[in-house]
Structure 1
Amino acid sequence: MKNKLLIIGHVWPEPKSSAAGSRMMQLIEAFQKEDYEIIFASACAKSDNAFDLSAIGIVQANIEMNQSSFDHFVKSFNPDVVLFDRFMTEEQFGWRVVEHCPEALRILDTEDLHSLRKGRQQAFKDGKTFDASYLFNDFAKREMASIYRCDLSLIISEVEMDILNNEFKIPDNLLIYLPFQLDAVAAQEISGLPEFDNRKHFISIGNFLHEPNYNSILYLKETVWPLIREKLPSTELHIYGAYASQKVNQLHDVKNGFLIKGFASDVNEVMANSRVCLAPLRFGAGLKGKLVDAMKNGTPCMMTTIAAEGMYGTLEPNGYIEDAPELFAEAAVLLYQNKSIWKERQCNGFKVLNERFNKIIFHDRLFCTIKDTIKHLQKHRDNNFTGQMLLHHILQSTKYMSKWIEEKNGRS
């Protein structure tokens, strides 16, 4: 009999729109490889960019928040493993899973540490240095509680593993380091990519609903791009991303080569024909999918420390890392003009992908941990008294708040 996996999605996966969507598809592929029967359920409305999961044999289910209909749904499916997509879904549905499928292994995929991203964003807005006072925010209280309530949590970045271990004192046995799981880049693929002389212009890409991405585009427009354009007056910056709003589109400036291109139906095509990728993120968390897309397509990157975080380990980056706008622009121009440096940095990128994100390595680690945890589940939970304590309280508070909302909605 097949093992059963229920994924409760914060949103429906959009691999062409965001790194989070790509990450979810990688997780689905991994569980399919282990022959799991999978249902993907979400209370979110589907957009036109949502991937059709039924095309790869995944059952799709619409669920409702604060409705006992979920209780019947989860009990009927009776999953062996429940994967919560971000801590907000665990807050909403976790107690129901505990109540109706207590033996199911509960896994949280954090995507990135929301508390870290929110704290950095607030520090940036305040014009202050990010420190513990910004890290230990209300999002952190919710997110750490969710990590404790789950049996395992998937952490995408080594930096975030370190923060969880050393700042929040989360026990190691509750965490699994699981970055992007990627296919190795073969020599044949590399040889088929456009060469330096056949590429032109700069590219920047990212979902515009994600605040760090919008902020970086604004920063490019107001500060960085004028410095680059001054040195390279005939070049253009092509900016791609899903969900471009009016405030994004109004940045479009043909005269100065600052072009808002909108949604890229094929990120590989636009990335492979660009010479340099710009990623001047000033706050954020997790791993940046745009850097993976750039490395995969042999496009060197000019990036900030925040953008590069957790990506390279001890390996050399596929470009340069600078935070000061003048240095950022200077290095971007060098990368754009110097063919030998460009080629060297391109090769760095292929090495990073093949040595740090090879899915074969992480697949085995993930499922060895899952199988071992399931085998010793009661002992694992007994050793996590904090999680049991938090479960007790959420069952007493969130449960009855949810039931009150359901009752109230039923009367209105």
Structure 2
Amino acid sequence: MTAPAGADAAKSALSAGNATVIAASAGAATLDRIAHLKLSSITLPLADPISDAKVLTGRQKPMTEVAFLFVEVVTSEGRTGVGFSYSKRAGGPGQFAHAKEIAEVLVGEDPSDIGKLWTKLCWAGASVGRSGLATQAIAAFDVALWDLKAKRAGLPLSKLLGSYRDSVRTYNTSGGFLHTPIEQVKENAAASLAEGIGAIKLKVGQPDWRLDVARVAAVREFLDDDVPLMVDANQQWDRATAMRMGRIFEEFGLVWIEEPLDAYDAEGHAALARALDTPIATGEMLASVAEHARLIEVGAADIVQPDAPRIGGITQFLRLAALAESKQLEIAPHFAMEIHCHLAAAYPIEPWVEHFDWLDPLFNEHLETRDGRMWISGRPGLGFTLSEQARAWTVGTAEFGHRP
């Protein structure tokens, strides 16, 4: 039976009216859609080859470059977001390849639905799992979406998340690598403190433990007693060595001993945390929230060191931060200070953020350090734009959708 013309008109009017009501109630932000994505593989060369304990024990070669995956998102309204992930020594081309396989599922989606989109990206590449290279590729999309969301709100990311502070404690690592002679390490430490950085971290874990002790003792004597000092063994000790070195290092009043054991040795780290006065820090090499949860469950870390690009981005970092806070643990995010300063500022317990100036050439803007702290800028989002140098170091790109 055919409906009367009047009925059709009424239905059309009702549908149009409902659409108007839905649009009005939903809000303008939800009408925006992801229109275009640009992926860039960027290789950042390091001025000098970098060596830590993994090199001295023969497990890795010196690091000469860092590979970055950048994602730039543009919406139908012309709003933009930029995010990145990275890989050291190997994996950069793999991240870029995986990102190209899954990127298209975001075109046409509401960019505000970040949790939903993380899951969609994860399922798009589900056969390679929910850890490692797969989550690191997803991280670049996720960070870009959070950057976009904060920019839409006109807020720094930390403020969007609910900041507890406008600055975070910061420490320098890049001046204390094992390839650096001890006198240069001292000069680097003095320069870092003069630049407003608040603490110094040294690499340890050499085959001859005596060299580690001498190195730490020399820097401890060089610095004022109130300058915080940390050490990082980069997973190169066995359990017995880690316990012995931990007891030797007690006299130096260290803020923490980092990665004394294999990253997945939860029970070994827990035993150290129970036995030593010096706090144990670990977690930077883990590539999922689930892996961190295992360490937290057994009490393996006094200080959790998540890396947002490694565990899947900001969405996953926030899940982990909630878990860490429930156990009253400190956090000290690893690397990527451009992202982590915002996340640390939004963590309830006073955190640390690692200062690396390696990424400075990639961005037009830079972070300010003074009074031992890293200050969050008032710029919306992450507060960074890609530099011309970053464009020059680009080794591959891929684009999806259409620019508005």
* TM-score where L is the length of structure 2: 0.29
More helix by share: 1
* TM-score where L is the length of structure 1: 0.28
Which of structures 1 and 2 has the larger relative contact order (alpha carbons within 8 angstroms, sep 6+)? 2
